[in-house]
Structure 1
Amino acid sequence: MKREITKLVADGLYREALCLYSQHHSLSLPPNKFTFPSLLKACGKLKAPVQGQMVHTHIIKTGFGIDIYTSTAITDMYLKLHRFEDALKVFTEIPEPNLASLNVAISGFLQNGYFNEALRVFTLVRDLGPSTVSIASVLSACESVKHGDQLHCLAVKLGVETEVYVGTSLVSMYCSCAELVSAAKVFQMVSDRNVVSYNAYISGLLRNGVPRVVLDVFKDMRGFSGEVPNSVTFISVISACSELHYLRFGRQVHGLVAKYNMGFDIMVGTALVDMYSKCGCWQWAYDIFNELNGSRNLITWNSMIVGMMSNGQSNNAIELFVQLESEGLEPDSATWNSMISGFSQLGRDVEAIIFFKRMQSAGVMPSMKSITSLLPACSALYALRCGKEIHGHTIRTDICRDEFISTALIDMYMKCGQSSWARKVFDQFETKTSDPAIWNALLSGYGRNGEYETAFKIFDQMVEEKVQPNSATFNIILSVCSHTGQVEKGWQVFRMMNRDYCLSPTHQHFNCMVDLLGRSGRLNEAWELLQKIPEPSASVFASLLGACRCHSDSKLGEEVAEKLLELEPKNPTPYVILSNIYAAQGRWKDLEMVRETMNDRKLKKHPGLSLIGVT
């Protein structure tokens, strides 16, 4: 009986093994301790919980439940059948569990994502002196550095922390917990580091946003360890080059890929396509894409489409999209999103909306990124109807309360002149968000639509609710002060930046204040403030010069024009504005001198332009 059932299970004939056992059981043939582990394995493979429970019942009746190997097999079967409570119950009832049963339970729980249960099993039998396999397995269950540190201490106590298997697992754990200093220390201590150790450390560094260190570790691997990189290594290193836009290093890595004959590995090839695209070399990316013909998957196609869009090659991206469909591949959400966001970023808003309509017709659900790419396109085209359709979709899919989506919706409604709709989106949050971005969208919209008093009220509400304004907030409110001529309010806001929020005014804030003072006729005050700006731009001088013309101040106008000409000697605007000031004051000789100077320098006034929209 033992050999027949065991052989059938070994040959993958699981149903036949169970049928044979049923026949033997009907004939009252006695089983032995080798019968049940094979039968339990068959139940697990067949995903047959009913048969598994029947076998378990027979085990209890025949008294084989106390056998360590049978109990371990029962635990393993229940884990494979996703009956985790039953598995844990059987395991805890094992009188004297050994390392084999420990490892079965831990690995079973981990494979099914039950990290806490795996840790619970580990703590139950820690006195057994767990093996390196046990420690390494349970390290992947650590969701906090606290648990990881405890296991690290146990590994040190057992003297296995430098063994490659445990050390590699410790490196992975510390990287997952963003403890890069600890990961580096453990990595340096690991004896006989292999390619798996390097891959664990390199991929962990990449996930934690330190691509430069990835390249340093790769150099160390190549220079001192003698380990040969594999496809996993190359994918991480190429991705680091992509993030850093290190074309030269990326090309060297490409050379190594060719040397080790990994150029036709689809994942390595896709990583190279992405790297060359991000480095601005779309032609090289396209060459690799063509070399992968026959093995390309949808990820490769999406990467190439994104690469074309990011390099301004939208027509090539459209051709690839059509070719993808002709080769029998179905564009997924990422493909459609690449087209929509690409067109939006290139300012081709009509095409972005057309592809959105096509995506809807294809029955593909738009992603969050698609929606946030489309809303600015609707704003640019004043396509209120399309914007409302997208808003309706966000309500139906219950993502309308996402702060990023809400900010884009507020911006779209404001740019379409629908401030009441924008306010409804903002007011859906009973507890106002602390993110200044959504407040800024509302403030900017009210300012753009001339609702200045409402903008001031929103800013006051923002301050009252202790939302931390950022630099953009102050830029918006200072611009509103400038358009309403509220000088004292402007000074109050300007001083508030540093005094209350420790924000240093930028060039834009100084420009707004100079513009505000200039518009209000406080030209000397504006000139004094301008002197305090470190390296003032030409635009701020041009703004003050325009104010000098409005208030017919030729003396200050001459000083400002001189400064502006130092920054932009080929710009005729300062001469034109000075001419207007002199003409308004009847200083015809000075006007003539300015015109002669313009002729001598071969400068001409820019002609005016008119634009007529035809519908």
Structure 2
Amino acid sequence: MKASTQRALALLDQCLSLTMTHVKQIQCHLTVSGTLLDPHAATKIISFCAVSDHGDLNHAYQLFHYLPNPSKLIWNTMVRAFAEKNEPIKAVCLYKNMLHIGFLPNNYTFSFLLRACAHLSDISLGKIFHAQVVRLGWEAYDFVQNGLIHMYSTCDCMESARKLFDTSVNRDVITWTALISGYVKSGLVVVARELFDQMPVKNTVSWSAMITGYAQVGLFKEALELFNDMQVSGFRPNHAGIVGALTACAFLGALDQGRWIHAYVDRNGMELDRVLGTALIDMYAKCGCIEIARSVFDEMPNMSRDVYAFTSLISGLANHGQSGSAIELFVRMKNEGVFPNEVTFICVLSACSRMGLVDEGMRIFNSMSEEYRMEPGVQHYGCLVDLLGRAGMLEEAKKVVREMPMEPDSYVLGALLNACRVNGDVELGKETVEHLIHQSLDHGGVHVLLSNMYASANQWDGVAKGKKGNGREKGTKASWMQLD
């Protein structure tokens, strides 16, 4: 191999400073010199393109097809790349092609395939790979066994995951964390915490998995306590741990701790990606600091401002009496090519309702199906009823409830009942309460509201009836629930 070719290949080891432009120049040099098909050279080029953060997986795939006889290492590199870059189906298809030409998988192949199965949550495929692992004798390898535990945990097969864990001879921190994460996805945080406390050695990932688990099931106080314990134990919080802690701060209104976490993010130069940025926006909005939430949104890179970041700020603005700004942000979102989701529409329709913007609200509601091919759900109809009711358009609101394609729930009927109160329509209010009771959605509050409506209309007999409810037994089609 010529010295110039060796120098070109040596450049590929400088992954941090290379770009795809440099790599393509090196590839051209190797092609001209006739050494591109050399196994060492081809492996270097494909590995950079497929695995590096600065690479190009499509380019690697094209080069892979160009090679007449790719080595097993190159096959494994491509399977790994597709598995790691969220293209699990391509990883599995490539594996089938690999078998077809006569290459047998090794322990590395299976570790990548099991990750692909976890992405797909395909337990049937995972069991097939597990059988092949056993048949070919790779089950004892640590990272294969960890991959199996992770795969079963992700597919919610905790019994199989626990069996593998209990029979494992060499449990490392990854083995423990895989099982703990599985119990956290399954909502079994008590079992997860028992395992966590038994871990002989913990790392940042295991601490973060437990913090995230507490936040996911609503144990926010426990999440923050564990976040503090993590730092006392000498571990620096990572991305996942910070997001879990911010979620807890948002629901607890723990502004001081949220500010400390934000300062930690800035101090360590962490990028405000879509997950972290949205978590900060949500925390500040729920803690009453809507202007700081807006500034975090503005600091986020354009690529990170996705539907979740926009929706979080739209919701915060609407909930802080800035409905006009919420609607403006919704328009900006559309102009920037970010597609709203179901929650976005609930937030912006609520903003229209608070401002009495009936025409704008109707236009936005209709755009769900006409522009975005998204069928409105029951909460969207509830927002529409609230919009019309607040504007005094009671007949139109009643028509929406009557013609909506699904049964109205307590949110829809509650919006209609509130509209009845605002507009003083006692009879429609009584009808609405009956609908709530028919669906077992009634509670004391609706009867208090109804009795107040009777009182406002000077119908004092109705006040007593509203407080007591009606004496018919539950179970008949037009039943009322007896209230003491």
The answer to whether the aligner puts 1:132 opposite 2:7 as a matched pair is: no
In the TM superposition, what are the counterparts of 1:212-223 in structure 2 within 5 Å? 212-219=89-96
Q: Alpha-carbon deviation of 1:441?
A: 3.2
CA contact 2:310–2:329 (8 Å) conserved in 1:
no
Q: Which residue of 1 aligns with 2:88?
A: 211
In the TM superposition, what are the counterparts of 1:75-94 in structure 2 within 5 Å? none
Amino acid at match of 1:205: F
CA contact 1:378–1:412 (8 Å) conserved in 2:
yes
Unaligned runs of 5+ in 2: none
Where relative contact order (Cα < 8 A, 6+ residues apart) is larger, the structure is 2
The answer to whether the aligner puts 1:380 opposite 2:251 as a matched pair is: yes
CA contact 1:106–1:137 (8 Å) conserved in 2:
no
**1:508-533 CA distances to partner (integer Å, 9 max, x unpaired)?**
33321211222443221113334554
Q: Alpha-carbon deviation of 1:336?
A: 1.9
The answer to whether the aligner puts 1:273 opposite 2:149 as a matched pair is: yes
Distance 1:302 1:200, change over 3 A: same
Measure the CA separation in 2 of the matches of 1:323 and 1:430. Answer: 41
**1:420-475 CA distances to partner (integer Å, 9 max, x unpaired)?**
55456557689998656445434423433xx42x3314543664795567344442
CA contact 1:109–1:117 (8 Å) conserved in 2:
no
CA contact 2:352–2:360 (8 Å) conserved in 1:
no
Which deviates more from structure 2 when the two are superposed, residues 353-362 or residues 598-607? 598-607
Measure the CA separation in 2 of the matches of 1:226 and 1:430. Answer: 47
The answer to whether the aligner puts 1:480 opposite 2:351 as a matched pair is: yes
Amino acid at match of 2:89: R
Unaligned runs of 5+ in 1: 1-98, 144-170, 608-615
Which deviates more from structure 2 when the two are superposed, residues 515-524 or residues 594-603? 594-603
Q: TM-score, normalised by structure 2?
A: 0.77
Measure the CA separation in 1 of the matches of 2:301 and 2:28. Answer: 45
Aligned with residue 258 of structure 1, among 129, 134, 140: 134
Q: Alpha-carbon deviation of 1:277?
A: 0.6
Distance 1:239 1:118, change over 3 A: closer
Distance 1:133 1:606, change over 3 A: farther
Q: Which residue of 1 aligns with 2:180?
A: 305
Amino acid at match of 1:324: M
**1:286-316 CA distances to partner (integer Å, 9 max, x unpaired)?**
22123223x2332222222212222223233
CA contact 1:434–1:467 (8 Å) conserved in 2:
no
Q: TM-score, normalised by structure 1?
A: 0.63
Q: Which residue of 1 aligns with 2:324?
A: 456
Distance 1:247 1:603, change over 3 A: farther
Distance 1:226 1:428, change over 3 A: closer
- Counting aligned pairs with the same residue, the percent is 27
Amino acid at match of 1:543: A
Which deviates more from structure 2 when the two are superposed, residues 403-412 or residues 370-379? 403-412
How many residues were matched structurally?
463
Q: Alpha-carbon deviation of 1:411?
A: 2.3
Amino acid at match of 1:111: D
Distance 1:557 1:318, change over 3 A: closer
- Match of 1:598, SS state, is coil
CA contact 1:118–1:141 (8 Å) conserved in 2:
no
The answer to whether the aligner puts 1:177 opposite 2:56 as a matched pair is: yes
Measure the CA separation in 1 of the matches of 2:30 and 2:88. Answer: 40
Measure the CA separation in 2 of the matches of 1:496 and 1:434. Answer: 21
Question: Please, what is the CA RMSD of the aligned residues?
Answer: 4.4
Distance 1:265 1:291, change over 3 A: same
Measure the CA separation in 2 of the matches of 1:172 and 1:218. Answer: 17
Amino acid at match of 1:491: D
Q: Which residue of 2 aligns with 1:509?
A: 380
Measure the CA separation in 2 of the matches of 1:434 and 1:478. Answer: 21
Distance 1:527 1:371, change over 3 A: same
Measure the CA separation in 2 of the matches of 1:252 and 1:372. Answer: 35
Aligned with residue 367 of structure 1, among 227, 231, 238: 238
The answer to whether the aligner puts 1:547 opposite 2:449 as a matched pair is: no
Distance 1:131 1:413, change over 3 A: closer
